[in-house]
Structure 1
Amino acid sequence: MTLLGKSFSVIILILSLTFMVLALAVNASHRNWRDVVMGPTGLKAQIRTTESTNQQLRDTTERTRAALSREQAARRTALAALQTQLDQLESQLQNSESSVQQLEAQNTVLTQTDRSRAQQLEELTSETARLRDQIRKEQQDRDELFTQTLKLTNDMNKLRGIVQIQQDRNDQLMAQVTRYKEVTDAKGIDINEPIGGAPPDRNGTVLVINRPKKLVEVSIGYDDGLRKGHRLEVTRQGRYVGKLEVLKVEPDHSVAAILPDYSQGTIQENDRVDTTLD
């Protein structure tokens, strides 16, 4: 037998075994389909049960749909009412927002006004405190002035008494002076003439110097009690310079000669002249 014949023989054997297995399987799975379909629990009974259940479900669905339609209508009505309320509330909200904005603007203005008034209040409080201190000080000053016024009034009354006494004394002295004047005029006495020939204590300055003639002009004269022959001391910044002898006297100035024996320096204009030295 050739190789090809052997191959076909093996193939035929395998196919025979395969068909045998299939035949056994079909035989094992064989069922009575009439009983399966027409039995009490068969497919037909299940179909009738399913159809009854489906019909019940359809009825329930219809009722549910009707209820849903009624619910949807009620919901649409309620939604429309809610929409109307929402529109009203939105309108009220807009009005409230406008009112809030106005109130916020008013609040801002009031806040600024309150801040300004608070600042004014602080300034007024400070000013009031200052005025109180000033009033207190002025009251103290017024009390002190009142006390001083009382004291001065008392002193003034005392002074008035003294003035009255002095006035009476002055009247008496004036009467005496008038009498003395009448007596001196009658006797030909010059009251300006110095007693004992000594000049009064006066001082002046050197006005003009005539060096060739050794003469000077000084700023004191007859009205100051200076007379011909009086001697004057010359100093400069407290230092002794020399001595002068009056030769000619005028009411407001005099001419004097420089005494060389007493000279301790050169006499200059604006040097001080005194009738006596301390």
Structure 2
Amino acid sequence: MNIVGKIFVFLIFVMSLVFATFSVIVYATHTNYRDEILREEAVGNKPLGWKAQLEDLQRLYEELQAQLEDREDKISQILAERRQAVAGLEAEKERLLAQQTEAQKNYQDLRQLHEKKLAEVESTMNDIRRTQGEIDDLRQQIKRQQETIDETFAAMILRTETNNQLQGEVKRLETTNETLTDQVARAKQLVSFLSDGEVTLDTPVDAIDEPPAVEGRILAVRKRDKDTFVELSVGSDDGLLSGHELQVFRGARYLGNVIVLQTNPDRAAAIVDRATRKGPVQDGDRFESRRATQRRI
């Protein structure tokens, strides 16, 4: 074999290596489009198959189409209500126009009546002049009455001083009444506990101050700085008082305690105790007292 043949053999060997390399690269970068289309779950870095993505997009399209139809129905209903309201306003406009016409007619009648009354006033002025003499006599009587009024005024001043003293006494009694009202509320709570058998006459006072067996829902949540305030669905009619402590749950999960700040007959305001908080409190969370928990157990 001469040198030219050797060169061709070497070139054939080199080209074989090049084509073999191309084959390996093509195989490594080959995409299995059947797997790309029919893959039902995402595997590793491979996403969900095209067919599954298309089905998801179709379901999303159907949901959006249903929402669009629902919105269109609502818009049609609103437009119908608006048209009905406009018709009512047109009828009200016609009624007001009729009232305006009637008012203009009444104005003309009142104007004629006014002219008639002016004539009567002139006649009355003549009568006043005749009664002027009678007024002079009445002035003498008024002078005598004024003396009587002065005496009455002096007596009224004395009564005013007495009234001021009585008002001070009333304020003192109102303060006493507020104190007694709070005591009556606690007494009612004690009577309720005694009737339910939750406490006896030997129960310590600290145990009586605990909230009664109540439970309800969180109606609203308001955050201010680091504190969280909540509105409760029960109030003083259920035996709640300021300072009572309640437990908050979401399902079976304990979220912490809230402390009652203010009560109304059917509502109460409370603050979340940061020392016992185990999670964020939301609208709709359930709360109950320890007595309610013990009664349920």
Normalised TM-score (structure 2): 0.29
Normalised TM-score (structure 1): 0.31
